[in-house]
Amino acid sequence: MKPKSVTLHPDLIRHPFSQNFKGARVSKKSPMLTDYRQGKRHLFISPKKGDIFHICASLDTRYICCSTHVISHISNCPFECTYCFLQNYLTDTTLTVVADTKAIMAEIKDKVAKQPWRFFRIGTWELGDSLALPPLNQMAAALVKEFALTKNCVLKLRTKSSAVEPLMDLDHQGKTVVSWTLNPPEIIAKEEIATAPLEKRLMAMEKVARCGYPIGLHFDPMILFNGWQNAYEGLIKMVFSAVRPKDVIWISVGSLRFNPEMKKKIENNYPSSKITAQELVLGDDNKFRYPRPVRQDMYSLILDCLKNVGADQCFTYLCMERWNVWERVFGRYPVSIGHLDYLIARSVHKRFPKTCPTMPPKGKYMALSY
Amino acid sequence: MERISLACEKISLISPGELDTSLDFSSKLNPFKTKDQELLLQGLERSGILSPILSIKKTGNPNPLVIDGFKRIKWALSSKIDTVCVITLPQMEEEELVVFLTTKYAPTLDTCVVRALFLYFLVEKSFKHKTIVEKVMPILGLEPHKGLLERYLKIAGLPHKLLLFCHEKDFSLKRCINLSYKPRRLLETIIGLNGIISLSASLLQELCDNIHDILRRDDMDVEAFFELKQVRDILGMEKDPSTKTRLLRRFVWQMRYPVLSSVHAQIEEIEKRHFSNMPFCIKWDRSLENRKITITGSVSSPNELDSLIDALSDKGTKEGINKMLARF
Ligand code: SF4
């Protein structure tokens, strides 16, 4: 997918990343598009302005969150997932990429140095997909090289694409996790418009796993439809015929959730989607979700399937769920957000020591406040 | 046509039938009664036409285009009056005319529905969207946005009976917009039930939202829904509207929220079995998200306190609470 137009900030004219955009319009200003769909087709390459490294904005202390960190250097996305929260979030919808890797890394290094004992998982997907466009992929490759030199960080690329070529042959030092959001083909076709089909995602996954990258799997958002049980069971079988459980660093499971204001937006933008017509309840975080018993059934099914394919050794966690749901699904629950952060770090240290070389100090994680 | 020349304007005596009243929005308001309409008619009955009709010249139109005095003309026609006094102003620019009309009608545009009808009326009369957005909307206290105008125009297209209902109940813009996105057939059917059931503003909204979601989820059409045996039975029963309303509302809710309904039914069953004669109340989170039971009781004497403590420490109470918690 090629952007219809590219605007380059003059400060970046000599930046190596910009060399791929000869002939781009040069302007200090973003085209400032407001239409969500239109913005997806126009790229603005921007210098870094202000802080872009922070904890995931979805964190809510009433839920058990994985407290991942993110760099918000990508804004908007060429894909068209019907459930995407960006429809209701962006004011300037222009697909924007902060290209200044050095400045991004300087901010990260400065901030992570304040907690040298902590294992930072840092995602690039907060406001977009990590590998959706060739320009983003080069950016991702630059970050992979930078992260290879860090001590207590791991870069999390998360995508629904199959464009992994720029990641091949990089010396990643196990410091980058390439992850995929996964759904059955029925959902990809109807609700994840313009993304790579499942087979392509799996082929890409196989390739990066062969290059030694740890793989992350995100069965999130799970979406309810007739026959969902068989479809998700089939999905897990397909995934684990492409990669081995020992390649998988973590698995997250979550279900569809969106703000009430999004309902109308989704119905207008994607009238044939039925995701908003399912039975949904409003949670304490003002997000619609499937009723708790339904979510529990969905998550339990995933866990059973993972067990059946021998992937129960992979660290699996629920995304943005309540402790009582954890208890129902796993029979136990992390007592705090810091506890889950610790459990993830401990699992990575044990299974992927190159990625997290030091044993995480439990006490310090438990004392974290959010 | 008799013409009397005045120093400042031309005043003519014209037969009311010769006047072009195509800019009459007040007739569109019928039967959307607004505050001033009835008062005005009463005044005309009492004293006749006291002030002249205001009109402008329009190229290619031999008849003066009336811009003020529509109700007087209507009254004159119905009272079989031969001529009325008409002041004819020179031609007006579109902007000037639209501002005049809006200022004139603004005090009567007191609900979202009539504002929507007025904006639609202007579009129908071929005033430019840009002029409406920039000149009219601010006078009506609306943000001058194209998108907002489009929303109002969509509202104006709602079924007439529903518009009347929304006007009477003074529906907010948000509510009207919400309705404007529902299938027309559904809106017509639900508003057609008014009288058989007791429709309030919030119930109308609730039924529209829930039934629309059911239709989309189950790939059903409006007719098929209202043909469901349970729906036909409720609407056809020999009961008062409020009973039918309650039953229909419950049925729709159960269909829209099957999982919640069934878990609530189980919890209610436990409540009935264990706590029906207890001196305290049991409440639980209706969304089923939080595993939490709230027990409340009030006492007005030491004896009542003793019985409350006894009831709370009863083995059956603990058993009932545990059963309830197990549903979470
Ligand atoms: S891939 Fe992510 S960011 Fe892109 S449209 Fe889908 S949900 Fe939104």
Q: Counting one residue from A and one from B, how many pairs have CB atoms under 8 Å apart?
A: 45
The better pLDDT of the pair B10, B296 is held by B296
C-alpha separations of A53 from A105, A106, A122, A368 in Å = 9, 10, 9, 18
Q: What does the pLDDT read at residue B101?
A: 95
The SS3 assignment for B143 reads coil
Ligand 1 pocket: which residues have CB below 6 Å? A 77, 79-81, 84, 86, 128-129, 160
| C-alpha A61 to ligand 1 mean position (Å) | 25
Atom of ligand 1 nearest to the CA of A195: 1
Distance (Å) from the C-alpha of residue A283 to the closest C-alpha of chain B? 7
Residue B281 has φ and ψ, to the nearest 5°, of -110, 145
Please tell me the distance from the alpha carbon of residue B113 to that of residue B133, in angstroms, as a whole number. Answer: 17
Residue corresponding to tokens 């990575």: A348
Q: What is the pLDDT of residue B9?
A: 59
pLDDT tens readout for residues B285-295: 999 999 999 99
pLDDT confidence of residue B180: 95
% of chain A residues with pLDDT over 70: 100
Residues of A in contact with B179 (CB under 8 A): none
> Cα–chain-centroid distance for residue A26?
31
Q: How far apart are CA A127 and CA A57, in angstroms?
A: 10
Contact B173, B130 (CB under 8 A): no
- A14 pLDDT exceeds 70? yes
Which residue has the least CA distance to atom 6 on ligand 1?
Answer: A81
> Which residues in chain A are closer than 8 Å to B220, comparing Cβ atoms?
none
The two beta strands, A288-289 and B10-14, are unpaired
The answer to whether residue B4 scores a pLDDT higher than 60 is no
CA-nearest residue to B258 within chain A is: A279
Residue A130 CA, ligand 1 centroid: distance in Å: 10
Measured distance between the N- and C-terminal CA atoms of chain A, rounded to whole angstroms:
39
For chain B, give the number of residues. Answer: 328
B181 and A274 within 8 Å at the Cβ level: the answer is no
Helices B229-236, B241-256: crossing angle, 10 deg rounding: 160
Cα separation, A112 vs B244, in Å, equals 63
Location of structure tokens 């929507």:
B116
Chain B residue with CA closest to A295: the answer is: B289
* CB contact set of B224 (below 8 Å; sequence gap of 6+): none
pLDDT at res. A40:
95
Mean pLDDT, range A268-289, rounded to an integer: 95
Interface test with chain B among A263, A267, A281, by most B beta carbons within 10 Å? A281
What single-letter DSSP state applies at residue A275?
G
- Chain A, window 305-364: residues with a beta carbon less than 8 angstroms from a chain B beta carbon: 322, 324
The string of pLDDT tens digits covering residues A84-103 is: 999 999 999 999 999 999 99
**What number is the average pLDDT over the span A352-362?**
97
Yes or no, beta carbons of A281 and B260 under 8 Å apart: yes
Q: Give the minimum alpha-carbon distance from A202 to chain B in angstroms, rounded to a whole number.
A: 31
Cβ-Cβ contacts under 8 Å, B217 against chain A: 274, 277-278
Using an 8 Å CB-CB cutoff, list residues of chain B that contact chain A. 178, 181, 213-214, 216-217, 256-260, 263, 287-291, 328
User: A249 and A214 in contact (C-beta within 8 Å)?
Assistant: yes
pLDDT band per the 50, 70, 90 thresholds, residue B229: very high
Mean predicted confidence (pLDDT) in B204-210: 97
Instruction: Show me where the domains of chain B are located.
Output: 1-92, 106-181, 182-256, 275-325
Instruction: Say whether B287 and A276 touch across the interface (CB within 8 A).
Output: no
Closest CA to B109 of B92, B125, B122: B122
pLDDT for A116 equals 96
**Phi and psi (nearest 5°) for B240?**
-70, 160
B154, pLDDT greater than 60: yes
Per-residue pLDDT, averaged over A18-47, amounts to 92
**Whole-number Å distance between alpha carbons of A356 and A342:** 12
| Residue B110 CA to its chain's centroid (Å) | 12
Asked whether the predicted pLDDT for residue A135 surpasses 80, the reply is no
Non-local (6+) Cβ contacts of A154 within 8 A are A119, A120, A121, A122, A147, A175, A176, A177, A348, A355, A356
Across the strands, what pairs with B295? B282
The domain segmentation of chain A, as residue ranges, is 48-366
Is B116 exposed, middle or buried, given 0-12, 13-18 or 19+ CB atoms closer than 10 A?
buried
Residues of B in contact with A281 (CB under 8 A): 260, 287-289
Domain B1-92 sits in CATH at 3.90.1530.10
pLDDT at B40 exceeding the cut of 80: no
What CATH architecture applies to the domain A48-366? Answer: Alpha-Beta Horseshoe (3.80)
The percent of residues in chain B predicted with pLDDT above 70, rounded, is 95
CA closest to B260 among chain A residues = A291
Say yes or no for a CB contact (<8 Å) between B260 and A291.
yes
pLDDT, mean of residues A8-18 = 90
Beta bridge mates, A193:
A80
Structure tokens at A251: 């698995």
Are B260 and A322 within 8 A, CB to CB? no
Please say whether the dihedral angle defined by the alpha carbons of residues A136, A138, A142 and A143, taken in this order, is positive or negative: positive
Rounded-to-integer distance, Cα A84 and Cα A40, Å: 13
- Non-local CB neighbours of A20 within 8 Å, separated by 6+ positions: A134, A135, A138
Would the pLDDT of B95 be above 80?
A: yes
Query: Which one of B210, B212, B218, B259 would you mutate to disrupt binding with A, by most A Cβ within 10 Å of its Cβ?
Result: B259
Structural contact between residues A94 and A76, judged by C-beta atoms closer than 8 angstroms: yes
Cβ within 8 Å, pair A279-B263 = no
